[in-house]
Structure 1
Amino acid sequence: MTPVVVQLNLIVADLDRSHRFYQRLGVEFIPRNRMGAGPAEAWVSVGTGITVVLHSTGFAHWWDESAPQPVAGGAQMDLQVDSPERLDALVAAIAADGGVVIKPPADMPWGQRFAVVADPDGYRVGLKAERDSSGA
């Protein structure tokens, strides 16, 4: 299965300022907070085709504690792959080819297996796979 681009993450220095900017362009958002409620730590676009998420640096550091940390002005494209096993194999192949693995594969609290690699120019690429019901 070919990976599908499912999300573009924009790491922003001032979440409110960026939210207002994109709202002016007509983008609608819903808030996201790691606790499920509380002030927005990220804004998730609605109806944009590919989901665009504005992340505060603090929220990005929560879901990706690896080094180097996501920074304001950085972008990360997320690809959906068909299985956790495929995700692990892709990351292993990238590492074997001398590529950069930023965040090794891990099972995340939102129900996906997730990893972050760097493309040859340093752009972050998130890899996501739905975990099966057994939690694998």
Structure 2
Amino acid sequence: MVAVVQVNLIVADIDRSREFYERIGVAFVPRHRTGDGPPEAWVSVDTGITFVLHSTGFASWWDESAPRPVPGGPQMDLEVASPAELDRIVGELVAAGATVVKSPADMPFGPTGMRFAIVLDPDGYRVGLKAPLA
């Protein structure tokens, strides 16, 4: 089973974008890769499916591929059952000719970490694949 768990919006100004979505009624919590300093992303808390406003610098940290993520570049994240399942799916996509822009890697997302990869769909949209490590 695959579930849509997150949509990432790469934005030019995360505070301006946060204010826009807050006017619509979305509530956010800040995220920073080290937990210190000004927010590098804003994570929705009341939207059903999480969506995250990412600064380009923060997006470039978790997606170091070229070309770099740019404002207006959406990404949908799908969660799969396990790291082994993620690796299997990526292998099948590669065999079918898909482009992998971030090879599977263990990342410090969430409380227990996630196996994470990014592939391009046939139209070039970024699709993040996540699997809990524990």
TM range (shorter): over 0.9
Aligned equivalents of 1:67 and 1:78: distance in 2? 19
Over aligned residues, Cα RMSD in angstroms? 0.8
Per-residue deviation, 1:69:
1.6
Query: Aligned partner of 1:75: which letter?
Result: P
Q: What is the percent sequence identity of the aligned residues?
A: 67
Using structure 1 for the length normalisation, give the TM-score: 0.93
User: What's 1:83 paired with?
Assistant: 82
Counterpart for residue 73 of structure 1: 72
SS of equivalent residue, structure 1 residue 82: coil
Partner amino acid for 2:128? Answer: G
- CA distance in 2 between partners of 1:102 and 1:63 (Å): 11
Q: Which residue of 2 aligns with 1:114?
A: 116
| 1:36 and 2:26 are equivalent in the alignment | no
Query: Is 1:128 the equivalent of 2:127?
Result: no
Aligned equivalents of 1:23, 1:89: Cα separation in 2: 39
**CA-to-partner distance for each residue in 1:81-135, whole Å, 9 max, x for gaps?**
0010110011111111111111000011231100000111111000000113xxx
How many residue pairs are counted as aligned between the two chains?
131
Q: Is 1:62 matched with 2:64?
A: no
In structure 2, C-alpha distance between the alignment counterparts of 1:100 and 1:16, rounded to whole Å: 32
Deviations 1:44-90 (A, max 9, x none): 00110000100000000011111222111010000000010110011
Q: Give 4+ residue runs of structure 1 displaced > 4 Å after superposition.
A: none
The TM-score, its normalising length taken from structure 2, stands at 0.95
User: What CA distance in whole angstroms lies between the structure 1 residues aligned with 2:19 and 2:124?
Assistant: 28
